[in-house]
Amino acid sequence: MTKLHDQISRRTVLGGGAALAATLAMPGVLRAQEPKSVKIGILQPVTGNLAQDGELGRTGAEYAIKAVNDAGGIPSLGGATLEMVFGDARSTPEGGTAEVERMQSEGVAGIVGGFASPICLASSQAAARYDLPYVVDVGVSDKIVQRDLSNTFRFGPGFGTCSKTAIENLVKLNEAAGKPARTVVLVHEDGLFGSGLAKLMATELPKYGFEIFETIAHPTPARDMSNVALRIRSLKPDLIIPSSYYGETVLLMRTLYQQRVRPMGYYSVLNGAASNMRFVKEFPEIANLDMDCNHWHDPRKEEAIQLKKAVEDAGGLWAYNIPLNYSCVKLLADAIDRAGSVEPKAINEALAASTFEGHVMPYGPTKFDKGQNTGAAPVSLQVQDETIKVIYPEEFADAKPVFPISG
Amino acid sequence: MSALRPYLPVIGLGVLLALAPLFVTSNVALNFLVFTLIIALAAQGWNLLGGFGGQFSFGHAAFFGVGAYVSAIWQMSLGLDAWTGFVAGTLAGAVTGLTIGFLAFRAGLRGSYFALVTLAFAEVFRVLSNSSEATGGAAGLLLPLRIGAQNLQFADRSTFLAFVVALTILVLLLVQWIRGSRFGAQLVALRENEEAARALGVDVFAVKLKAIGLSGAITAAAGVLYLQYFLFIDSNIVFGTWISVEVLLAAIVGGLGTVLGPVVGALALHGLGELVKHLAGDLPGIDLAVYGAVLVVAVAFLPGGLVGLFRRKPAPRQVRKTAPEGGRV
Amino acid sequence: MYSPDIIIEALLNGLLTGAIYALVALGLTLVYGVLHIINFAHGALLAAAMFAVLLINQLFGVDPYVQIPFLTVIFFAVGYGLQRLIIGPASHGRDENILLVTLGLSIVIENLLLAGFGSDTRSLNTDYSFNVYEVGPYLLSQVRVFGAAGALVTAALLWLFLSRSDTGKAIRAVAREKIGASLQGIDVAHVYAVTFGLGCACLAVAACLLLPTFYVNPKIGSAFVLVAFTIVVLGGMGSIVGAMLGGLIIGVVESMSGLFLGESLGQIGIFVIFILTLLLRPTGLFGAKA
């Protein structure tokens, strides 16, 4: 049984496309020397509705495992290498729970991932039964870190922080341009993530002098955005703020473009498309100058640039899930190293006391408060010259914002 | 003894299930059994209406979700306890069943028409619960973790399994009893030929109503169990089409209109799901594709369901039309 | 609350969208009317057709509209084969087994697409994707107008085929009275397979018309299946004219309830109509009396 799993997880590490397999050929060499290995669970939804995000998350985790192993594994454990135990959460909470149980039975030292909030909520709770360390990669629902679970750590920012930062950056952006934008339409998907964000934005934005013309919810999947576009066209807002998944955002932006809606700017929050290179590549003229407040790598960090290059050279498309999962795995590896053991309690304590800086996100040193990394924040991005640039905050920016869009 | 004879298979399966919490120690297996039996229980509800009564529903998610939501709101908003919440959720399922049944059967809906109207009800509930404040909207409801028997939350999975097993056995016995009862005979009669049953003096409307009420209650109880086990629900989870599909799959694969069918079917399907997950490697989707293919092949070779394998005489069944004739091209 | 211009344009949008819905529903209603089965693989087959369009476009640069004749033939063959070789033999003529087989097929197709094409949501960008017709104050998307026109033409052709050709007459005979038809020497299994093939061919047309405005991923079928069911019921199961009108009605209802209730809650409009139709007139607007 163990043998079978070893094969599966080896294959999993080596999987994910032939090109990736080539870049990952190294672990095989390392394995030949047979140092001890530490198993870590990578939980992502790679089938079902969330498969697109799950696949990106897995890619990030695989690169991190390779990076850690190439750099000599876990020093305090005699250079033990990380070994991935991959689990497909099948885009459901019960799927995630079942995989957590399997990972626990295979002796993982900790788990990274989950992606969607419902999966993260159920999976981290299942892991909590064993006090098994669980690092949430995305899951933005703030309920995740409000349960006093001693095993659950969210490295990235939650709703509260995301919308707060998004608003701050928007206000700065607008003021720097001489306050041209006053009116806003919010468009959001009607699930947990879109509704939650829209609600926060709708209460916060008016405090900064913005007028919300309308908040439009749409289902996922949406079959048609013509009516949303129609209403926006008649309202003529200065700004459009969409929070939706990839497919719907693309549909919305295409329809708005076709309907000749040309606002001063698109400023989305945690959007599925505006910071996805596929969108930029497939529809360069529509994506041009779109802004998004989202998770993103730190463009000043050499390691982040190298990772992005490696992913793109292997034929992959860059998205925030990759650096975020990459960083989460490295964070866990660092905690295991400082714990000097694979005991859950020791690793949890090490995570709780973490000041980890070796990540590729624009966060500064890690500091957990009740499981939430207080240093985590999203950045504001803009599509410029068919690539995605950071425009705010200034200390991480690699481009100047273009706003308002003239024309 | 002869009165007990029909109960022997149920007792046999019951004993096997009852032993599980005692001997299974792996949490992977425990978790698998708990989730599978929750589905089996929900499928048992479907089977009562669909298997025995011949009224195929595509919307049992409506009952599953009502059970889960009512119990969650009972505990979180009203501050009442989990056990009465369990009862409330189950009763709410019965009421939902009676309401949908009253409307649908009063209108004389059968076959595909009945199936589609149940599907529509489940979708309406899903959309409403996703936007209503009372149900937590899109954020869903997270039941606070309060381990303790009084809260129907158990520290270890084997206790929860014991609870689920006890319920499953109870429902198995109930269904076996119904099967032998007058009500059961009437149900089967209307499945085989509604007009003939009516001619024999069966109050078809009342029998169908009773069946859908019971069916709703059982499936709602499974919904409450889901809530108590995972402690988190949202509209797409408990009112999602996946659960409607899961229950009819389990009941049909196990053997339509048999007492043991739903449990056997759920165990077989979920077992198969785990198996292909381990064998199919890492290309996402291949395992599920194999799962689907096995399903098709199984239907081809086991048209009477799994339980049909163990029957000495496969009962010949007429080919029925699910829909009234008269579809026009 | 809304100006008349907006309401009229939303109405037009609803009609354009509804025509495409109708096309998806056409295959479903045809299969239902003849085989009396609800085909659960319909959505997955639509996704497969859309990926086929995308693949052919990317490999050979063939425009989606140019692909219509070719893809229609391919999908007719696929449908014919599926019914003749898999669904028919595996289901033993039992309703519950047909349900399982089509469910099983949908799982297989969806996940093979996932394995083969990956999980990414993809779109196809053509030079004419963003063209509009300006009609007075209204901007009508060119590709959506093409889509609606294509749907109407397809429905008309199908109707002609069923009412004029020998095969069409055989199909109608089987739909009305299976045993009688087989006694007259009609090969029922063949007719079933032809019907299923036609249903799939409709999906191929729908895929070609949809792709220039829409996106595709392995789960995309689920976006259209429920609404297609609604249309089939509303129009009367098995009725082609009913499906077309049902599609247009649903398109307009969705558009209007989306406008007044919000896109999200607006879906309720569809289901309420669905439930009311079933409860008040279960044979649909154009179905024969049960």
**Which string of DSSP letters, residue by residue, matches B236-273?**
HHHSSHHHHHHHHHHHHHHHTT-SSHHHHHHHHHHHHH
Tell me if C67 sits within 8 A of C201, measured CB to CB. no
Residue C263 forms contact with B (CB below 8 Å) = no
- Chain C CB contacts of B109 under 8 Å are 278-279, 282
Distance of alpha carbon A104 from its chain centroid, rounded? Answer: 24
Residue C258 has pLDDT above 50, yes or no: yes
DSSP state of A80: B
Q: Where in the sequence is the domain holding C91, given as residue range(s)? A: 23-222
The rounded distance, in Å, linking the Cα atoms of A27 and C114 is 28
B284 vs C94, C114, C267: nearest CB:
C114
Using DSSP, state whether A41 is helix, strand or coil: strand
Q: Is A130 exposed, middle or buried (0-12, 13-18, 19+ CB in 10 A)?
A: middle
The secondary structure element, H or E, covering residue A187 is strand A183-189
The rounded distance, in Å, linking the Cα atoms of B171 and B45 is 9
Contact between B329 and C238 using a beta-carbon 8 Å cutoff: yes
In a domain, C135, yes or no: yes
pLDDT of res. C37: 81
Contact between B142 and A217 using a beta-carbon 8 Å cutoff: no
pLDDT averaged over every residue in chain B: 88
The rounded distance, in Å, linking the Cα atoms of A82 and A188 is 39
Best of A223, A231, A288 to disrupt the C interface (most C CBs within 10 Å) is A223
In a domain, C259, yes or no: no
Find residue A112's DSSP bridge partners: A42, A135
Tell me if C15 sits within 8 A of C252, measured CB to CB. yes
The rounded distance, in Å, linking the Cα atoms of B67 and B90 is 6
pLDDT of res. A237: 96
Contact between A217 and C263 using a beta-carbon 8 Å cutoff: yes
The rounded distance, in Å, linking the Cα atoms of A110 and A344 is 7
Q: Where are the domains of chain B?
A: 5-310
The rounded distance, in Å, linking the Cα atoms of A321 and A318 is 8
Tell me if C56 sits within 8 A of C67, measured CB to CB. yes
Tell me if A359 sits within 8 A of A137, measured CB to CB. no
Write out pLDDT tens, residues B289-298: 989 998 898 8
Domain B5-310 class, CATH top level:
mainly alpha
Write out pLDDT tens, residues A138-194: 998 888 999 999 999 999 999 889 989 999 999 999 999 999 999 999 999 888 788
* Residue numbers in chain B where pLDDT is lower than 50: 312-329
Domain count, chain C: 1
Residue C146 has pLDDT above 90, yes or no: yes
Write out pLDDT tens, residues A108-152: 999 999 999 999 999 999 999 899 999 999 998 888 999 999 999
The secondary structure element, H or E, covering residue A392 is strand A387-392
Searching chain C, which residue's CA lies closest to the CA of residue A223?
C223
Tell me if C276 sits within 8 A of C253, measured CB to CB. no
Residue C78 has pLDDT above 80, yes or no: yes
Give the B-side interface with A, CB within 8 Å: 26-28, 30-32, 35, 127, 130-131, 137-140, 142, 144-145, 157, 230-232, 234, 236-237, 242, 277-278, 281-285, 287-288
Find residue A74's DSSP bridge partners: A80
Give the A-side interface with B, CB within 8 Å: 4, 8, 11-12, 15-16, 46-47, 51, 54-55, 86, 88, 92-94, 97-98, 101-102, 104-105, 118, 121-122, 125-126, 129, 141, 143, 147, 190-192, 194-196, 217, 219
Distance from the Cα of C48 to chain B's closest Cα (Å) equals 14
pLDDT of res. B227: 96
C-alpha pair distances (Å), C210 with each of A69, C144, C205? 47, 8, 9
- pTM of structure: 0.88
In a domain, C16, yes or no: no
The rounded distance, in Å, linking the Cα atoms of C240 and A85 is 52
In a domain, C181, yes or no: yes
The secondary structure element, H or E, covering residue B94 is helix B82-106
Contact between C278 and B117 using a beta-carbon 8 Å cutoff: yes
The rounded distance, in Å, linking the Cα atoms of C290 and C101 is 27
The rounded distance, in Å, linking the Cα atoms of B179 and A269 is 57
The sign of the dihedral angle between the CA atoms of C25, C27, C33, C39 is negative
Contact between B283 and A15 using a beta-carbon 8 Å cutoff: yes
B329 vs C30, C95, C218: nearest CB:
C30
In a domain, C257, yes or no: no
Distance of alpha carbon A129 from its chain centroid, rounded? Answer: 26
C-alpha pair distances (Å), C110 with each of A73, B285, C113? 39, 8, 5
DSSP state of B81: -
pLDDT of res. C61: 92
The rounded distance, in Å, linking the Cα atoms of C97 and C91 is 5
For residue A373, report the phi and psi dihedrals to the nearest 5 degrees.
-70, 110
Joined tokens for residue C244: 């077309």
Tell me if A12 sits within 8 A of B282, measured CB to CB. yes
- Chain A CB contacts of B28 under 8 Å are 98, 101-102, 104-105
**Domains of chain A, CATH where assigned:** 2-157+300-375 (3.40.50.2300), 160-294+380-396 (3.40.50.2300)
Residue C288 has pLDDT above 80, yes or no: no
Go through chain C and tell me how many residues it has.
290
Contact between B117 and C279 using a beta-carbon 8 Å cutoff: yes
Least confidently predicted of A80-84, A113-117, A286-290, B153-157 = B153-157
